Amino acid sequence: VQLQASGGGLVQAGGSLTLSCAASGRTFSSYCMGWFRQAPGKEREFVAAVGWWSGGNTYYSDSAKGRFTISRDSAKNTVYLQMNSLKPEDTAVYFCAADHSLSTIRSGTQVDYWGQGTLVTVSS
């Protein structure tokens, strides 16, 4: 599976942004998908995940809960991260990831596939 993340950019605090991650290669619909982020000088952290099944369970970090929404469109082989009420502390490079296991996605360790990252900058 190849993952191509896009949609990052510069946005003011309180604004919104939608990230996309397009998957190609093996069967997208059988993979759980997730978003992670890495701020300058910090470790990569989990943001959100969605199960592979239709209407799959979603999970969010405490910082993302209530502001971010993960979704997937299997017809387009794409997973999205809708980010609302953005804060300067959301500034980071955002990565998408794919794995057969939702628990693996949520842990962020030994994930099968990673995308290249897209930069989100939130100005105050």
51-97 pLDDT per residue, tens: 887 677 999 999 999 999 999 998 899 999 999 999 999 999 999 99
Query: How buried is 38 (Cβ within 10 angstroms: 0-12 exposed, 13-18 middle, 19+ buried)?
Result: middle
Q: What is the mean pLDDT of the chain?
A: 93
